[in-house]
Chains A and B, each alone.
Chain A
Amino acid sequence: MTAVDQTLPIPAKREQSRAWRKMKRNRSALVGLCIVAFFALLAIAAPLLPIPDPIATSWSAIRKAPSAAHWLGTDDLGRDILARMIWGARASLMAGVFSVVIALVIGVPFGLVAGYFGGWVDMVISRVTEALLAMPFLIMAIALAAFLGPSLTNAMIAIGVSATPLFIRLTRGQVLAVKTEDYVEGARAVGLNHFEIMLRYILPNIVAPIIVQATLTVATAIIAEASLSFLGLGQQPPSPSWGSMLNVAKNFLSQAPWMAMWPGAAIFLVVIGFNLLGDGLRDALDPREA
């Protein structure tokens, strides 16, 4: 172990187990975790479940109310809503997670560089970030999705890019708070290069707030994907997604209200799950509440 390693503020393992103990005591966070895990399992296991083909139409089963044959009813083309909901969970969760991954992959390095180097690099990155933050998230995502063309992949890119400035700002702020710590000075003193210092000594110590923000942003991204799909800019028919199911359902409100109920309820549940989990993680990872 080098002298620099000994200056690390709190051993990461102890920190993690303390955070996990706090999480386990937080009932609402556990509820959030269970909801997210349930939908994630559904999404992963969709191909294995004994459910009808989500895109198979049936002219004899158009807009049937919930029954033993179709637990959540059927849609305007006779497709089983439960099957479409389960496959739709894939699109929604995938969009939520991948958009945030895109935002993290772009945002965190830029934030690290801006905060660590300061000077003109920071000035340029910060001005661009401020400008991007001046555009409302959804308007920016809609504009990007419109110009890129409607598809789930483009919706994910649009949402990811729109969420990026949030992570640049957060990472930069965290780096500014950490970079004057003794262990960073120590790392510099033993001659480590900038890249190593950022990756080994700064990033591990700012990762907690980034995880919290990422979890909460997944919730925002799921709503954004559903919004884009609702507007016809996300998942394209006949593939199911909760947003596109609602888009069709709004035309049959009086004839088949069940078409609108379930997809919206699923979005609501999964978003509340991520919000509860994010709030719980924030409490668990906040050193002030140790």
Chain B
Amino acid sequence: MPVYIGKRLLVAIPTLLIISIFVFSLQKLLPGDPILAMAGEERDPATLEFLRAKYHLNDPIILQYFSWLGGILTGDFGISLRTNQPVLELIGQKLPVTIQLATMAMFFAMVIGIPIGILAAVKKNTWIDYVANIVALTGLSIPNFWLGIMLILLVSVKLGWLPASGYESIFVDPVRSLQTMVMPAFVLGNALAATLMRHTRSAMVGVMSADYIRTARAKGLSPREIILSHSFRNALLPVVTLLALLFGELLAGAVLTEQIFTIPGFGKMTVDAVFNRDYAVVQGIVLCTAVGFILMNLIADVAYVLLNPRLRATI
């Protein structure tokens, strides 16, 4: 297994290099001179020249890229223009908030998506299956920022059950933290639940027509035993790997959800950085998200191999 993981990590290197080229090129898309944007009101030629030299902007573009990449590899993602903090430190501060949100969203998605997916497969082509299909389609089509706004309107403004915005660390006040996170997590997990529902259904339908399920039926096992002990365990395999992949998607979805519910996480930081023209932070975010996404892909692959005895034997 370590050899397999090592190989997969090696394969990720060219992908990461290409991503770094893309992220580096982003700053070249900026109209005008980036130093003027960075200097703001300060237009003293000596300062501008100092900044140009500091960021190697007088060098050929290839050298600029390598000096930027060198910084990234040593953990220097630049400094936030807004807060003057190192970008990596800023991301490190905000990420735990988003991870809490994403974990709760994942919980909602699993609790809703997997059981309904199983039910739809077991009751294939009945009204239950059709209703589940409509629920999944609705979940995939509803814009999550609108769902968030509508929930705030109903649950917070009309009913006054939950706070409409804010955040409290789970380590400081767990109850308040859960109260503030329930709605955003549901909103974020909604589309994921629909995706999980569809995949669980299709995996279950595939497994339930397998020979060993027919054998289990012939042996006289009850439908409940067949579903829980035979079908579900095998259908779960692609679903578990999908979960790892979708966790990366949650980071992207958090951008809008955190904006609506004013949660000070990774997503809100992205939007703030965009509007403050804090380009080093935007670049750092894209790079970190891509690295996170690749890591999740790796985890998904490893989980697939670990959970599948046939694949495990080949490694």
Contact = CB atoms under 8 A, between A and B. Distances in A.
Interface of A: 127-128, 130-132, 134-140, 142-144, 146-149, 219, 223, 226-227, 230-233, 246, 249-250, 253-254, 257, 260-261, 263-265, 267-268, 271-272, 275-276
Contacts of A149: 31
Nearest to A267: B143
A137 B140 contact: no
Given A134-B15, A142-B274, A253 B252 contact: no
Contacts of A146: 274, 279, 282
Chain B's interface: helix, strand, loop or mixed, by majority?
A: helix
A136 B149 contact: no
B141 A271 contact: yes
Interface centre among A144, A223, A257 (most CB of B within 10 A): A223
Given A147-B29, A231-B256, A135 B149 contact: no
B141 A139 contact: no
| Interface size class, chain B | 35 or more
30 contacts: A127-B14, A127-B18, A128-B18, A131-B15, A131-B18, A131-B22, A131-B290, A134-B15, A135-B19, A135-B289, A135-B293, A136-B248, A139-B289, A142-B270, A143-B283, A143-B286, A147-B282, A226-B143, A231-B271, A233-B274, A246-B145, A246-B149, A264-B143, A264-B149, A264-B150, A265-B146, A268-B146, A271-B142, A275-B137, A275-B140
Contacts of B22: 131-132, 135
Nearest to B279: A147
B138 A147 contact: no
Contact of A137 (B150, B252, B256): B252
B146 A267 contact: yes
Interface centre among B146, B147, B157 (most CB of A within 10 A): B146
Contacts of B283: 143
B252 to A, nearest CB: 3
B249 to A, nearest CB: 6
Interface string B279-315: 1001101100110011001000000000000000000
B205 interface: no
Given A135-B286, A142-B255, A254-B157, A275 B143 contact: no
Contacts of B279: 146-147
The 8 closest A-B pairs by CB, nearest first: A264-B146, A136-B252, A131-B18, A272-B141, A146-B274, A147-B29, A271-B141, A138-B252
Contact of B253 (A138, A219, A271): A138
A223 B29 CA distance: 24
Given A131-B22, A136-B289, A271-B143, A250 B15 contact: no
A136 B29 CA distance: 20
A135 B259 CA distance: 20
A134 B137 contact: no
Contacts, number: 126
B26 A147 contact: yes
A230 B290 contact: no
B27 interface: yes
A138 B188 CA distance: 14
Nearest to A259: B149
B260 interface: yes
A226 B274 CA distance: 17
Contact of A223 (B16, B143, B248, B274): B143
A34 to B, nearest CB: 16
A13 B277 CA distance: 53
B275 interface: yes
A227 B256 contact: yes
B97 interface: no
Contact of A140 (B18, B31, B286): B286
A230 B258 CA distance: 13
Contacts of B31: 149
Nearest to B286: A143
A131 B249 CA distance: 15
B251 interface: yes
A143 B282 contact: yes
B205 to A, nearest CB: 15
A226 B141 CA distance: 13
Given A142-B271, A147-B29, 18 more contacts: A128-B18, A131-B16, A132-B18, A132-B22, A135-B293, A136-B249, A139-B252, A139-B289, A143-B286, A144-B26, A144-B29, A146-B279, A147-B26, A147-B279, A149-B31, A231-B274, A233-B274, A267-B146
B282 A268 contact: no
B15 A275 contact: no
Contact of A139 (B138, B143, B255): B255
A249 B141 contact: no
Interface in B235-284: 248-249, 251-253, 255-256, 259-260, 270-271, 274-275, 279, 282-283
Contacts of A260: 146, 149-150, 153
A139 B26 contact: no
A265 B30 CA distance: 35
A275 B140 CA distance: 9
